[in-house]
Every structure is written in C-alpha cells, then in structure tokens.
C-alpha cells in the first residue's frame, strides 16, 4: 500500500479549471502487473461527497498502445465537470475490457475502485459512508451493479482496500442494460448468445442472470435515477422500464427520466426538446446522496 499512498501524494494536478483541478493516473489497483487507473476531479469548493463515473464503451477498449483512455474520454469531460462544479469529488475510471477481458473483470474492477476511494476517503476529503456512482450504457450497467450487488468486503484480506464495501449509496444510470435475459447484451461482455427458451437449467442462463442488475435488486438498494432515450436501438428503453419496475416492487426510490425521440449516446442524439439531464443528475445527488 506504500506505493499507492506515494502515488496519491506525488501526482500533480495536471489540468486546471476555475471550478476544479484534475489529478491524473492514480493507481487504484493492479491486475497481473497492469495498473488500474483513475482520474480525480477535485472541486475548488468541495462539498465532502465523492462520485464514481464510468464511461460507456460497450465494455471494450482499443488494443493500441496509444489508445484514448476510458477515464479521460469525451463522456468523462461532459459529465464530470458539472458534478465538480457542484462540489462533488469525481473519480473517472479505466477498467478491464473487451477483447482481452470479459465478465466479471469489469465488475470486479469498478468494485475495487469504490473500495479504494472509500479506503482513502480522508485523503480525498469525502464521506466514506456516502459515495455515488454515475455511468452510461455499459458504464450504466456497471454502476447499476455497484448499486445492487451486496459488495461486502473481505475482513481477513491482507489488502485493507479489499476489506471495504463496494456498495454505493446513490446511482444515476443512463441507457443501462438491466437484464441480459431480455436483451442480447451477453454476446459482448459474456461472449455468448442469449440462452434460448428451455435453457433455464444451464450454465449459460445462470451466467446471464448473474450479470444482470435486475437479478440483484433488494429493498436496501440506493436511490436510482434512470435516464433513457425512447428511440434507443442499441439498448432498448424497455430495459430501463424493467429496472424501474423491479426497483419499485422492492420499495427502492427510483425515477425514470424518459428522453423523447433520443437515440443511444451520452448527448441523447435526436432528442426532441431534451430536458436538462446534466442538471437532473446533479439534483439527484444533491437530494439523495448528501446526508440530511
């Protein structure tokens, strides 16, 4: 852990804006010798709360050595600054991705990131008991898993980070795949086709079920804001409707923000009179993440 602490101390704020600075390439874990990295958007006037942001990518990343990192792509630069300007410390992530890695690698990595942020909460100046998460598309799937999985740490693990909980306390998910058994998303992250009718008692069916956020919904899950374009052909709007219904049955606070005419993408392309979705995101965290 000494090397991680040293990285946190020595890495400079490489980019500056009036409302925040960005600390790049903090190592939140290692996988087989490869560093897992995050950037920290540090607000000029922090409110004491942290939010993990996960970009959508189809759970994939380019193989080129000089490929643009997931944590610093256009989605991160669109969604993180408004949160930082509202006082939130934002953590944007890289995670293991296709074609090299499949499920559960990305889920394990984002859980590791939350544990890391929670363990170093004092250093980051945030409340360890109140961490939010926001993401879109595949990133929306991953933040939904952070909200619905139990995330309990391992008390006897020699790495103190792994003893921390990976459960987040508030979620904003854009166009998120919620059920791999009603949508054909497993062919990406799972590397297999959706099980046909009659295959319920198979390993393939159980894996699709396990990877689906709807499977893990329970009454102790955090408030969810779902945002989805109703003309989305990549991740059908019905996926968010299904997630909303499951959360409501469990008694979880949830809102589905329908974007009329919008297709798939972080800017809701094709939207007809789109709402202030970035403002809605900030207001959701202001309402449900902060302690009252």
| pLDDT of 154 | 96
Neighbours of 66 (CB within 10 A): 5
> Rounded to 5 degrees, what are φ and ψ at 157?
-65, 135
Q: Which fold has domain 2-288?
A: Rossmann fold (3.40.50)
Which DSSP state fits 70? Answer: G
pLDDT tens, position by position, 48-64: 999 999 999 999 999 99
Averaged pLDDT of the chain: 94
Surface-to-core class of residue 2, CB atoms within 10 Å of its CB (0-12 exposed, 13-18 middle, 19+ buried): exposed
Strand ranges of the sheet holding 20-31, from the earlier edge strand across to the other edge: 13-16, 20-31, 34-43, 89-93, 50-54, 131-136, 170-174, 224-229, 254-259
Surface-to-core class of residue 278, CB atoms within 10 Å of its CB (0-12 exposed, 13-18 middle, 19+ buried): middle
| Mean pLDDT, range 242-264, rounded to an integer | 98
Structure tokens belonging to residue 229: 């374009």
pLDDT tens, position by position, 170-208: 999 999 999 999 999 999 999 999 999 889 999 999 999
pTM of the model: 0.93
Report how far residue 219's alpha carbon sits from residue 253's, in angstroms, rounded to the nearest whole number.
Answer: 10
Contact yes or no for 91/174 (Cβ under 8 A): no
Q: Where are the domains of the chain?
A: 2-288
pLDDT tens, position by position, 92-146: 999 999 999 999 999 999 999 999 999 999 999 999 999 999 999 999 999 999 9
């Amino acid at each position: 852990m000494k090397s991680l602490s040293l990285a946190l101390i020595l890495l400079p704020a490489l980019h500056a804006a009036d409302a925040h600075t960005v600390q790049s390439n903090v190592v939140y874990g290692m996988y087989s010798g490869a560093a897992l990295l995050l950037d920290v958007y540090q607000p000029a006037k922090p409110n004491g709360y942290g939010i993990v942001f996960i970009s959508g990518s189809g759970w994939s990343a380019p193989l080129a050595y000089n490929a643009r990192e997931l944590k610093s792509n256009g989605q991160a630069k669109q969604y993180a600054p408004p949160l930082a300007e509202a006082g939130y410390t934002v953590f944007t992530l890289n995670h293991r991705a296709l074609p090299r890695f499949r499920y559960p690698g990305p889920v394990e990595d984002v859980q590791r990131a939350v544990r890391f942020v929670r363990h170093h909460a004092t250093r980051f100046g945030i409340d360890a008991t109140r961490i939010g998460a926001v993401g879109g598309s595949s990133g929306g799937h991953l933040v939904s898993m952070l909200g619905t999985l139990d995330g309990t740490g391992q008390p006897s693990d020699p790495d103190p980070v792994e003893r921390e909980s990976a459960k987040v306390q508030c979620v904003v998910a854009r166009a998120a795949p919620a059920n791999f058994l009603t949508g054909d998303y497993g062919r990406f992250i799972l590397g297999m086709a959706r099980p046909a009718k009659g295959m319920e008692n198979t390993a393939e069916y159980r894996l699709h079920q396990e990877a689906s956020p709807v499977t893990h919904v329970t009454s102790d899950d955090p408030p969810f804001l779902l945002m989805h374009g109703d003309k989305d052909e990549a991740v059908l709007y019905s996926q968010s409707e299904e997630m909303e219904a499951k959360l409501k049955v469990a008694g979880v606070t949830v809102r589905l923000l329908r974007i009329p005419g919008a297709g798939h993408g972080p800017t809701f392309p094709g939207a007809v009179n789109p709402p202030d979705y970035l403002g809605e995101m900030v207001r959701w965290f202001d309402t449900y993440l902060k302690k009252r």
